[in-house]
């Protein structure tokens, strides 16, 4: 189990903590692999991205079926969009999960790359 000081340090680095039972998990940006990730019960949930000259393209989100319904995909999307916003990276939402989230959350519309606004119906 992670110590509270390690958890606090991770939160200060931008990780968002998720409580699932007695485990503490956090979303991590793994730039070497081009993804945001959460590990739960030994399974990896990921939101993959590509940095491009014109922004950040979110290409694929995976949450293992055993972990479905816990809101982990939403946490990945929120972390990815928060990162894009803080880095002033226009979002290119190729991933259907990102597209649906952004359609339902008007507060994210200003993050969408102007040439891709049609993808979420703007």
Fold of 30-120: Aminopeptidase (3.40.630)
Output phi, psi for 4, to 5 deg: -65, -35
Burial of residue 99 (number of CB atoms within 10 Å: 0-12, 13-18, 19+): middle
Hey, CA dihedral for 84, 89, 92, 94, is it positive or negative? negative
Task: Show Cβ contacts of residue 41 under 8 Å, excluding neighbours closer than 6 positions.
Answer: 20, 23, 66, 67
pLDDT digits (tens, 9 = 90+) for 67-87: 999 999 999 999 999 999 999
Kindly tell me if the per-residue pLDDT of 47 is higher than 90: yes
Kindly tell me if the per-residue pLDDT of 13 is higher than 60: no
What integer pLDDT is reported at residue 122 of this predicted model?
81
What 3-state DSSP class applies to 41?
A: coil
pTM (predicted TM-score): 0.79
């Amino acid at each position: 189990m992670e110590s509270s000081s390690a958890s606090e340090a991770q939160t200060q680095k931008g990780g968002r903590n998720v409580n699932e039972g007695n485990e503490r998990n956090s979303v991590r940006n793994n730039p070497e692999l081009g993804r945001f990730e959460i590990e739960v019960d030994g399974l990896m949930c990921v939101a993959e991205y590509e940095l491009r000259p014109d922004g950040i393209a979110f290409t694929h989100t995976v949450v293992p079926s055993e972990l479905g319904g816990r809101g982990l995909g939403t946490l990945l999307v929120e972390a990815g969009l928060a990162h894009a916003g803080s880095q002033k990276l226009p979002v290119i939402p190729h991933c259907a999960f990102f597209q649906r989230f952004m359609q339902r959350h008007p507060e994210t519309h200003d993050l969408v790359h102007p040439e891709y606004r049609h993808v979420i119906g703007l």
